[in-house]
Structure 1
Amino acid sequence: MRDGDEAAAGEALLAWYDRAARVLPWRVGPAEHAAGERADPYRVWMSEVMLQQTTVAAVKDHFHRFTTRWPRVEDLAAAEDGAVMAEWAGLGYYARARNLLKCARVVAQDHGGVFPATSEGLRALPGIGPYTAAAIAAIAHDEPAVVVDGNVERVVSRLWAVETPLPGAKTELTTLAGRLTPARRPGDHAQAMMDLGATICTPRNPACAICPLRPFCAAAAQGIADSLPRKAPKAEKPVRQGFAFVARDGAGGVLLERRPEKGLLGGMLGFPGSDWGPAPEFTPPLAADWREAPSVVRHTFTHFHLQLRVFAAQAEGTEFTPRTEFRPASLPTVMRKVWDAAQSALSPHPE
């Protein structure tokens, strides 16, 4: 993009957004916004937290369930931790769910149930970083905050043909995104940038022919749009090993444990197991005839790959969760995989 083209590009982007904005359950569309309707900061915050590292398609159902069950921030603040964690299952990164509760409780208790109206005030809340604060402030309060997510980074890197690899280019891309952010309709602008990156300026095979910003795009002019943004090579993820133990009693009850609050899957229910590392110890939670499941559970976290050998047994005890209270769907994804793998090593239980 040439210097001085920012205003024209911004107007072209907003004109496109007025025609083509995605309909999303947490969004106030451009026509409604022009008529004076404003987005609910609670719903904007909820959607932004859910969308971190997750797709819109995966979030829609979770968002509907959360906001139906807890329609106000005060409702969420009063919720039981376990109930929120169970509803979060499938969205990953359970630290976000714990921060969701912490933030809701601070807003309810210290701010009278009202989110701060500025990005600076929002950043003081638990679990709200620069991006989320800027998104809420822009979308819900029309603050001309610079909102930069992965979609925006991609659009900006192509507009200015920035060839510095990510993550090193982040500061430069944020500065350029700031040059494009208007004082008029900054919330619509932020959402238009997200929509453009999600639907037209996509990671692979961008639809440059129908892009409203093509006349301003340096990468399209040079024929290099699909190669940007460049990314530094990722380090290979290490592989960690572990054991998981699934015990079931004669009535179909299951032995579960709650993981420590800090660390991966913190505070979540799951099956007993070993530490995850290069040489885990085989330490079953109780004496039983443990049988190994034929398949190894494989799961990838942000920084490592995990391989779990699963052992199952019929046993009795007082700490078993009754069958009527056990919901495999409420477990974290890796624990659901463990449950599925254990079925072939468990004897059928009575119906």
Structure 2
Amino acid sequence: MNILVVLPRWVGDLVMTTPMLRALRGHVGTAARITGVVKPHFAEILDGTGWLDDIVPYDRRGRSPAVRFPGVVQALRARRFDTALVVPNSLSTAALAWAAGARRRVGFADHWRRLLLTDVLLPPRRAGRIDIQSPTLSAMAIAERIGVPAGSLKPELATSPADEQLASAVLGRLFPHAPTGPLAVFNDNGAFGPSKSWGAEKFAALARLLLDNHPEARVVVHCGPGDRDEARKIVAGAAHPSVASLADEPALPFGLAKALIRRAAVVISTDSGPRHFAAAFNVPTVAILGPMDVRLGWSDHPNLEEARLDLACSPCGKRVCPLGHHDCMRLLTVDAVGGMMLSLLDRHAGRSMGAADAGHRIA
């Protein structure tokens, strides 16, 4: 059997799809070939999991013709897929599976996709309206349609020895004279838009609160390539030698982020990829949700606290606050988030910098 899986284009959504990939591989075994379609630089996120035999990079806005729609279709058609599982709900991804020539194409019916799919799943409804569900649940439902038994919904990732070596080297540079203590990873970035940001000033105050209560702790501010200045602002605002960031690292591979988060005693993150990395490694996490619906980011993460306010305008799910006040983040206090953070640290006091989670595996 030759199976194509079209995967999500957001980091967190991709991580939330890992329970389905694990269940799919467990069901079809090694006799079947599974090919994933994913954004070019996202392949690294899945490194070491072993669920995919091959990955085809796809970015419809990419610079290289090989990763845009016509080039990817040409590459996929040559592979003669029996079945395509289309996880994203976009029209373009359903069109990709159809153009690739997969005989069976399974996905949800959103966005006028019915004619492009052979097996159509209807979105769940509540009180006559389409209900929101996370990629964890929707991806598993797609796989169940082809006979895959629903398995554990726990997300899973792996790190490589090279990832771990890089993380050790980075920590050594950031804290050359520091004793090994609990590691906290802070993250305020989000490619989605500014509505997800809690703000550098609050993260800086949170770092000071953490160090007041745990002087032995170390804080690493995670950032993506476009968030380096924000990370520097957090470090400057904290003004403490035990607070450092990745902003001056020449490269920011996903492997580094995975390895750092795997070692953390706690992760404090807005609703973006790092919170899902933390879920995959079972790291205690405070997710600062602001405008985002909790159902969209749901995964099986027992060590999660969700920081959000119950406002009339929230969750709006908008990239920019449509009312201009950003109250869902502005009114969410450092004390509230800090209380959750300190509670998690108290409940999981055994985790320290470099501690491996019992369920972790290194590829």
**What is the TM-score normalised by the length of structure 2?**
0.23
**What is the TM-score normalised by the length of structure 1?**
0.23
